[in-house]
Chain A
Amino acid sequence: MTQALRQPPAALTAKPAVERPSQAVERPLDFSIIRRLFACTRPYGRLRNWLLVLVVLRSVQLPTLSWLTASVISGPIHDRHGSGIALGVLAFVLWAGFTAGCFVYRSRYALELGEYVVRDLRRAIYAHLLRLPMSYFKRTEVGRLLGRTVHDVDSVRTGVQDVFFVTVVQAGSMGISAALMAHYDLPLFLVMLVMAPGLWLVTRHFRKLSSAAYRQRSESFARVTASLAESVNGIREIQSFTRQERNAQAFALRIADHADLNMRGARLAAVFQPVLSFNGQFFLALLLVLGGYQVLGGRVELDALIQFLFLSTSFFNGIPIIGEQYNQALTAMAGAERVFRLLDTRPDWEDAPDARDFGRIEGRVEFHDVSFQYERGVQVLSDVDFVAQPGESIALVGHTGSGKSTIANLIAKLYLPSAGRVCIDGQDLARMSGLSLHRQIACVTQQNFLFTGTVLENILVGKPDATTADVEQALDALGVRDLIELLPAGLQSTVGERGVGLSSGQRQIVCFARALIASPRVVILDEATSAVDSVTEARVQDALQRLLAGRTSFVVAHRLSTILRADQILVLDHGRIVERGNHQQLLRLGGSYARSYQEFVSSRSIDV
């Protein structure tokens, strides 16, 4: 019933490169994880406790139904006792009705409990991720991690809603069936009991084999989809380099490999099922011959034999089911462990507990001997020292990896400096609350990241309580309202994943508006490198100037015009400021800036 719910969400499976979650590596049950999982159900204590009552009840109901059936057959029917039959049937119907009534709630509560725990875990994971500082996202392939975590959370669901409760039902049923059989005939029951460990071992053995086979299968399937995705995404390359035949052959090998593994799995299942059923038949033959012989000798009653025929089914059925649950428990445990590990990731740093809030920021930004490293031993900034007066615009210039973006990241308090101080209005950022800073700072990144939703919603990220009129006003202030109104539904136009549906120029403009509406005191901008056509380019440049006007701004600059306009240019090289001043001053200085400028100018003059 819940099968559909356990399937991996298509968003992840469709993305072919996502790592398949590996199955549980066999390890003993870990009680600290179990305790913690149990703690997850605490908010739903009442539901959980009722469920517990219901499963215990059910573990009694199931064997007693079999017992009732056998009793009616071996009692009144065997004795041809008409009114006895009627009474027995009545009792059976009433008991079956009660069982069914309980079952409604037993399955519903279990499903609900699982769903609630899954919801809470998903929420906890996301809340935790939002709390982690940027350094975490730089180190970790979070996309991959999330893909696996979603699977993990779902295996935890199975652990919570099924493993424990199903085991209780089955173990209880087995116990009661065993007790009943022992009551009817102890020696016969003991003979039968000898079979149980064998069945258990066979089940465990095959489960182990089949989960190993499953792991191999899903790895090979991941290879199939990866190769497929590569071909689909690279179809331009494949057709222009006429690689069709070769890729088809390579793919055929992958599918053949996958098919072989599938076949191995099928063969394994084809062994396991017959072994199970043969086990049942063997037991039946034993029961008939041994039990029957005893019956003939008068040492065992026929009704005891009939009871055995019915009760043994509910006894033996339990073994493979519990074996399966044990497997599920291991998978759930491995999943839960990874989920908890993620939740336990300690942030590298957090706001100090006594962090103060910023009042209105004037916009004086100072770096005092700031050094920074993302990884130990790799110095990205060394002794950076500068002051930006309120309202000044600062251009950050330098080679890739010279530390421009890092300066921007430190001003936004996305990272803390390894040494030195970053101050705004004279206050050390390390002592101030991140939130109060972020309310007065805006950032436009190179990717011009937009969320799925409407253009309006994206602009409102800057200030969620703004009205549509405010947004229009902001667009007017940027002088770009006409460009947004050109979109099919204006502000209500939808933006697809990663900004699909908007041109790169439009995306930049939406990001500017998002920044402007936050009325920031400090603006940080990583200029886009990709070129748009000339007319849009000019409009974007114009909007940019309007955004920066009157605010302290830091621009990681790629455009000459942006650099020319800056009040102060910081030229960075290997994490140090090597030159500073405005354009004219730097040209007069005749240093590396002047040299690159000359080189740039000559590279632009085609007409040599």
Chain B
Amino acid sequence: METVAAQRARPGRAFDPGTALVLVMVAGILGLLVAYPLSRVLLQSFIKPGDPTSLAHLTLANFSRFFTSGLYQKALVNSLVASGMTVLASLVLGVPLAYVLARVRVPFREALISLATLPLILPPFVGAYSWILLLGRQGALTSLIRDGLGIHLPSIIGPFGVIVTMSLSYYPFVLLPLLGALSSADPHVEESALTLGASPLRRILTVTLPLVLPTIGAGAIIVFMRAIGNFGVPALLGGEFYVLPTLIYFEVTGSYNMHGAGAIALVSTLFSIGSLLALRYVTGRGGFVTITSQARQVAQASRPAARWLGFGFAAFVIGVSLLPHLTVLLASFAERWAGTPLPTIYSLVNYRKAFTLSMDAVRNSLVLAVGTTAICIVAGSLMAHTAARKRIPGRWLMDVTIMLPFVLPGIMVGVAILSAFIIPPFELAGTGTILLIAYFIRRLPYTFRSAYASLTQTDIALEEASLVCGASQGATFRRVTLPLITPAVAAGAVITFATLLGELTTTLLLYSARWKTISVKIFEFISYDQTGPASALGALLVLAVLVTVYAANRLSGRNLTSALG
């Protein structure tokens, strides 16, 4: 039945007017908004600043600084070290936690798992600066840990802070897929290891872990990709510790050297693409599919000691990962909080300040997030329908172009959009449109991929049945296709909206005085040491994201964060 559906997955004639129209639109949008900016930044990175942009002036001068400039070299090494350490830390946190949640009947398991997904949707930079509140020189826990426990932690400003924050934000990429793999593994395979005389530890090392190694590997690669492209965390916590994304920002805003920025972005992108190829290799081999005869659950340890020990461990790790965002909440109500574990004076003064200073930013963020989400819903579903249901030439090209801005570091996309749309014929610098464009191409994959996945899982015969019953193409899309893919598209839209509210990386390159967003405002507050209003805005942002996702989960009756990753 499934094979029949798969064989006939693309019916219809190669071209009908509707498809042709959508195709022209898709080609126009993707060509103008993705291919043009990216090829432009690619070209520019091979041309010296000041030279005209033409093929005759190609040079590797911009890249030579990776050999001559200490700053460039350090940023490259720092990026690799920080990302590598983040991967290690994510594995150390994610793998044992996944094992515990999968194999121990932990109390409040579902709630813990839901909480564990939160770091994926909360903006990491909001968490980043709350580490300053906690562990900075004046931090709430600094003296407690130093004097109370006698532990001298490295300064939170610098590599330590960057790695800690990114690890706590990204370890769910290891945890969640692994949890799935460990929960659904065939118990018989492990039982047969036991009957063959293996001790439990030996079983874990020789059977359980090797079976899920591809899953762990894939998670680790995703963490690496995210970490090497992250801008917000090193921007706030890096200090003198430059990494590639902050170096790009420095080149753009400091010396307005788009050519140099392009060259760095390209090097950074090479790592992302390398990671992506590695990911395809790891997941492409499909891991180890064990043949399961029936749906028997994996055995879970259920002794009270094991259960509560597991709970303690899970609650600790997840709690620490959410501690920064909770701190922001607390700090938002703190009028005075310096050097003590808890604030000494509480008030709403931060909110008052934040509101008087950033009403425009709140409005801008909402306008941009709502606008982009709406465009993504329409464009994503239409493109997904075309990709999934029509025989079209160059479909793979469409896939790649849509996914490219998703895979590339945000700062690279920002640089590309900036260099393409500040010169004629598109002079969009400082407008809301340029932000909208950047948001759109970076987030389109969410709705596109959810809709596409949902379409490929929907039997094509349903649409054919509708046609045969006498409904036209349009009526079929409206009455059958759309209702069936709506939950998936809605899931993609919620994630789009929630993650756009706090988008920092591309915004910081493209905003203007007129189009400051919440994230820019928070960034500014922090730069001027106004941690109070920054916390108030950060708390509002975190709450808005949580409320959106929670409400959408309740409405749809499922976990929408599954549309991530």
**Is chain B found bound to chain A in the same assembly?**
no
- Taking beta carbons and an 8 Å cutoff, which residues of A are in contact with B? none
- Taking beta carbons and an 8 Å cutoff, which residues of B are in contact with A? none
